[in-house]
Structure 1
Amino acid sequence: MADMMKPAQRPVNPLFSSGPCAKIPGWTPELLNSAFLGRSHRAKDGKARLKRAIDLTREVLEVPDTHRIGIVPASDTGAVEMALWTMLGARGVDLLAWESFGEGWVTDVVKQLKLADARVLKAEYGALPDLTAVDFTRDVVFTWNGTTSGVRVPDADWIPADRRGLTICDATSAAFAQRLDFAKLDVVTFSWQKALGGEAAHGMLILGPRAIERLESYSPAWPLPKIFRLTKGGKLIAGIFEGETINTPSMLCVEDYIRALQWAQAIGGLDALIARADANAKVIADWVARTPWIDHLARDPATRSNTSVCLKLSDQAIAGLSAEEQAAIPKAIAATLDREGAAFDIGAYRDAPPGLRIWCGATVETSDLETLLPWLDWAYQQVKAARRAA
């Protein structure tokens, strides 16, 4: 690579974090001036605002009327934990893990719930487990999009319509960027701070009819804290799915989420959100294809994420380097771009292989990613030159 001049132009919005993610284009705090503040969220107007967030979620995500949508505590983690602790144990469970968050659900089920009949199907970072090996007479827990590996399931064709167990899907970095097949998904969870750039601490729990039937017909052997309880007297607590939250939500965050959903509607809904994410991911993919020092962590193009795009140094770039050097270079690139104000928070997740992770969801402008590319090349050259000089 020839010596490069420092790029003259920086991305207008250099926020490429994979969570919390960039706010919607044009966001300002003034968008939240109408937030329902200083009042009880249980007041009529407060519940109506929460119900508005639920209804807009259904419209934008195209969730069928057969599924119930609730706002729950503790982000996507809280939503997943509610599903695991209230529904698992009725039958055996297959747990799929190919990155850190899937590994986290394995830990909870195996070491915390201590389910005896739990089978783990794992793959290394960059690959998927063998989806044909999943046993759908059992419950199945999986992430749709591996946020820390950049590997997603290609579709829901591997899930049978006549399954006997439940499918519990952590979709937090897939929702609003990838089309979810709700007919194949009994439980879907996600958080506000991912694809639409909302604020943290609130999760969404979407339940299909089979999940509701499980909740109303099965009581787990372990005690459930109040924050996890979804039924009362053997029946689903319907209010949770009408805006009557279990605990106090931030109405400022609720307003922010509503504004993001309204933006999504205004640009064309789910199809437009997916198209924006696809276009963003293509900018990175085209650059990787012509750049000898970088490569995708996800090996199969058919299963590469269009949101959390994870990159690694190419085989050519790491030739002759120690493992320590291979880890140091991506960290130095991320630190260099941070100092320059060209890109923030693009280092690989702490549990993932060394590399870079660039969020390409719909709230990121394609032009900002195009402007970022020369900075990546320049930073790599700077880091290599510094290491040679040392």
Structure 2
Amino acid sequence: MTDTPALKPERPFFSSGPTAKFKGWSAENLSTEALGRSHRSATGKARLKYAIDLSKELLGVPEDYLVGIMPGSDTGALECAMWTMLGPKPATVAAWESFGNVWIQDAVKQLKLSDLTTLDAPYGEIPDLASIPQDNDVVFTWNGTTSGARIPDTDWLAADREGVTINDATSAIFAQEMDWPKLDATTYSWQKVMGSEAQHGMLILSPKAVERIESYDPDWPLPKLFRLKKGGKINTAIFEGATINTPSLLATEDYILALEWAKSIGGRKAMFERADANAKLVTDWIEATPWLRNMVSDPAKRTNTGVCFVFQGDWYESLSEEEQAAVPKKIAKMLEERHVGYDFNGYRDAPPSLRIWCGGTVEQEDLKRLLPWIEWAYEEVKGGRA
């Protein structure tokens, strides 16, 4: 029987979204000047514009790209891009986990695109992206939030490709470098890598994306929340802080606080390094633990944010499917009850698994303290004591 570990994580927050806030975060540090003010006021609009400008600076977004705040988190931003840009050319939607499959369903059942190809792969794998024609529009997820599989590179996207690229980068951005010249519409949410409050998303458009939006009017109705044009041209005010609908200025201040923290520690490069180091710690532990297996077999395709792993071995494989599915749930429940680790069970549609968030707001010492507890809980479950 494994001894109960002596130390617990100081910050037991390992959810893959909303993720942990950075160490030292306090609500007392939030600016309150804009609270109670209209988001259309000079004060409110200035704070929204500051969030946009700081995001663009930290991410290294090209100067001629537009960055705007969208409603509905990453989902709202991504679907806005799909609804406003897809249709005039053949399209390919590629998926290898649950959220990518939502974009497939949008293309098939909602937009009902007439010239559509879908590519999918099981959890832990990535489809043959090189098979996508360069004149096709393409929708893809840079980093599989619920599978832990990310694209290893962008070699499959030609620099001079005709089609537009729509990139769901929500669990990658601020942890992995974006290849901006090959990306036309990139989306993410505040509550992922930056650990900020949820509900708001970001939409980043290249000049090529702007040209598509201005030159194309979809056949389907566009909800107000997706209307990016005014007088046939892109409404640039949206990308200067005049949001389409009313945002939470409190959430905006929380996002700004996280951005300022990231800048203070060295910007996106420091965030990349922190995520890489955290993920290496967890993946090395998985490799050294015989009853665990990384959900992603190819190391080149493994994420540095939401690391996903499944169980293996004689004991586990002797269980029924129902019993196997219960193992990670029991472990996660045991450790939550002991305030050791919160919300690290695998995604509901994924294979039975655990998923530990390793993004830059997580402290490595907390991960080091969590892992022995997982070993202890596994032995308790295996021994029938849980």
Q: CA deviation at 1:138?
A: 0.7
Q: CA deviation at 1:25?
A: 1.2
Q: CA deviation at 1:33?
A: 4.0
- What amino acid does structure 1 have at the position aligned with 2:298? D
In structure 2, the partner of 1:102 is 100
In structure 1, the partner of 2:10 is 12
String of CA shifts for 1:222-251, please: whole Å, max 9, x gaps: 111111100012100000000000111111
In structure 1, the partner of 2:200 is 202
Cα distance in 2 for partners of 1:63, 1:35 equals 28
Q: CA deviation at 1:121?
A: 0.7
1:41 is paired with a residue whose SS is coil
From 283, 293, 303, give the equivalent of 1:285: 283
Cα distance in 2 for partners of 1:290, 1:86 equals 47
Confirm whether residue 125 of structure 1 aligns to residue 123 of structure 2. yes
From 303, 307, 312, give the equivalent of 1:309: 307
- What amino acid does structure 2 have at the position aligned with 1:288? I
2:188 is paired with a residue whose SS is strand
In structure 2, the partner of 1:365 is 363
TM-score (norm 1): 0.97
Contact 2:146–2:346 (8 Å) recurs in 1: yes
Contact 1:141–1:168 (8 Å) recurs in 2: yes
String of CA shifts for 1:40-94, please: whole Å, max 9, x gaps: 1111121111110001001111111121000010100000010011110011110
| 1:369/1:230 CA distance change after superposition, 3 Å | same
Question: Identity, % of aligned pairs?
Answer: 58
Contact 2:278–2:304 (8 Å) recurs in 1: yes
Q: CA deviation at 1:317?
A: 5.0
TM-score (norm 2): 0.98
- What amino acid does structure 1 have at the position aligned with 2:6? A
- What amino acid does structure 2 have at the position aligned with 1:330? P
Cα distance in 2 for partners of 1:193, 1:267 equals 19
Q: CA deviation at 1:316?
A: 4.5
| 1:315/1:343 CA distance change after superposition, 3 Å | same
Q: CA deviation at 1:176?
A: 0.3
1:287 is paired with a residue whose SS is helix
Confirm whether residue 244 of structure 1 aligns to residue 246 of structure 2. no
Unaligned stretches of 5+ residues in structure 1: none
- What amino acid does structure 1 have at the position aligned with 2:256? I
In structure 2, the partner of 1:30 is 28
Q: CA deviation at 1:321?
A: 2.1
Contact 1:35–1:255 (8 Å) recurs in 2: no
Contact 2:37–2:43 (8 Å) recurs in 1: no
Cα distance in 1 for partners of 2:24, 2:155 equals 37
- What amino acid does structure 1 have at the position aligned with 2:322? E
Runs of 4+ with deviation above 3 angstroms:
none
Cα distance in 1 for partners of 2:298, 2:306 equals 15
Cα distance in 2 for partners of 1:353, 1:315 equals 16
Unaligned stretches of 5+ residues in structure 2: none
In structure 1, the partner of 2:337 is 339
- What amino acid does structure 2 have at the position aligned with 1:294? L
Confirm whether residue 323 of structure 1 aligns to residue 321 of structure 2. yes
Contact 1:294–1:317 (8 Å) recurs in 2: no
How many residues are matched? 386
From 285, 293, 297, give the equivalent of 2:295: 297
In structure 1, the partner of 2:69 is 71
In structure 1, the partner of 2:259 is 261
| 1:252/1:92 CA distance change after superposition, 3 Å | same
In structure 2, the partner of 1:51 is 49
From 158, 161, 165, give the equivalent of 1:160: 158
307-316 or 212-221, which deviates more: 307-316
Cα distance in 2 for partners of 1:136, 1:31 equals 47
String of CA shifts for 1:284-317, please: whole Å, max 9, x gaps: 0111121111110011110101001111002455
- What amino acid does structure 1 have at the position aligned with 2:201? G
Contact 2:290–2:313 (8 Å) recurs in 1: no
In structure 2, the partner of 1:179 is 177
Cα distance in 1 for partners of 2:361, 2:33 equals 22
- What amino acid does structure 2 have at the position aligned with 1:336? M
- What amino acid does structure 1 have at the position aligned with 2:64? T
Cα distance in 2 for partners of 1:218, 1:86 equals 8
Contact 1:75–1:192 (8 Å) recurs in 2: yes
In structure 2, the partner of 1:60 is 58
In structure 1, the partner of 2:231 is 233
Cα distance in 2 for partners of 1:250, 1:136 equals 39
1:210 is paired with a residue whose SS is helix
1:63 is paired with a residue whose SS is coil
- What amino acid does structure 1 have at the position aligned with 2:310? K
Contact 2:283–2:307 (8 Å) recurs in 1: no
